[in-house]
Amino acid sequence: MKTTPNIILTILSLIFLTTVFVGCDRPSEEGGTDPIVEPEEDVFVPEFDRDSAYQFVQKQVDFGPRVPETAEHKACSEWIKATLESYGWQVQFQDAIIEGFDNKPMNIRNIIATYNPEASERVLLCAHWDTRRIADQDTERKDEPILGADDAGSGVGVLMELARTVSHNPLNAGIEIVFFDAEDQGESGSPRPAEQTWCLGAQYWSRNQHEMKVQPRFGILLDMVGRSGAQFPKEGVSLKRAGQIVNIVWNQALELGLNELFVKERDDQLIDDHVYINDIGGIKTIDIINRPVLRNSDGQVVMNREENRPERHFGDHWHTHKDDMKIIDRYVLESVGEVLLHVLYKEVAE
């Protein structure tokens, strides 16, 4: 069938008009009917008070060495409990008699603090609070107990300041803080398995967890987090048992510009309280622990040739009388506390 020119013009006009009107309904690249994308709301994260955390460490050291079954140990535990209760936390002692490092009965006391007990979303934060009964890594006074400003005091100090901060800045989640006893009373070089002399309080709690509405989603252990010049590599057991949690914590540290402290390199697998929380308690838990690179007498980094990474150690203050307030750095305390607060307010309470 042939088409006349008038009919052709009419059809073309209709096509043009249809195109115009349809085009008016299309989303415009310059605004128009484009869907409005709301910017992500900033999450409020309270500031961490480094001076207050430092004072919490100082107060523990003022009691003296906190060795199980001593007056100083008992007095410090009562102060920790009273202080956390003053911030509105529910606090209880978990007292027990266990077999100690010397095969003799040992009285231990774990300290448990709970925030927002009815919340169904919970996280575990922990540290050991006992101090070493001997200075076995020192060259003198080896048989005397150490003050443990870093090795025990720093982790407790950071978590006590965190508890104070959260009490003034309500969190839409629950927290369990557990201070483990008898972590550091083991026998160095003993032929006995590590679990028979080390981390005894954490093992006891992992088998006898206090009543909680739900088990914590994950856990974070602090150990030696106050030394100046600290470095926190990605510890091996943490990566193996709870690698996703390592990533969450280290990513928060990276966003805060703390990559000189929370370094990306991985470290050996360490026997610490988190091993038993994972394996016995069933809670995916990581360890934030100071492990600076090892250097030789010339100041050069000692390398692990098999794995092409730096060798690491616990520092020259570890299990010595150097572990006092002189080595505690407010900035390091603040940095660890700041990372934890960002994890709590951005990841847990989202």
Residue 220, pLDDT score: 99
Of 59, 94, 62, 285, the closest CA to residue 182 belongs to: 94
> Which one of 3.90.1150.10, 2.30.30.110, 3.40.630.10, 3.40.50.300 gives the CATH number of domain 50-348?
3.40.630.10
Residue 284 is encoded by which pair of tokens?
């995916």
Where are the chain's structural domains? 50-348
Long-range CB contacts for residues 130-133, cutoff 8 Å, separation at least 24: 130/66, 130/67, 130/68, 130/73, 130/180, 130/181, 130/182, 130/183, 130/184, 130/185, 130/201, 131/65, 131/66, 131/67, 131/184, 132/65, 132/67, 132/184, 132/185, 132/319, 133/65, 133/67, 133/184, 133/185
Residue 222, pLDDT score: 99
User: Which residues of the chain register pLDDT less than 50?
Assistant: 1-33, 37
Distances (CA, A) of 36 to 31, 41, 163: 9, 15, 39
**Dihedral over alpha carbons 267, 269, 270, 272 (to 10 degrees):** 120
Q: Which amino acid is at 8?
A: I
Q: Model confidence over 125-170: pLDDT tens digits?
A: 999 999 999 999 999 999 999 999 999 999 999 999 999 999 999 9
Distance CA 175, CA 80 (A): 17
Residue 349, pLDDT score: 84
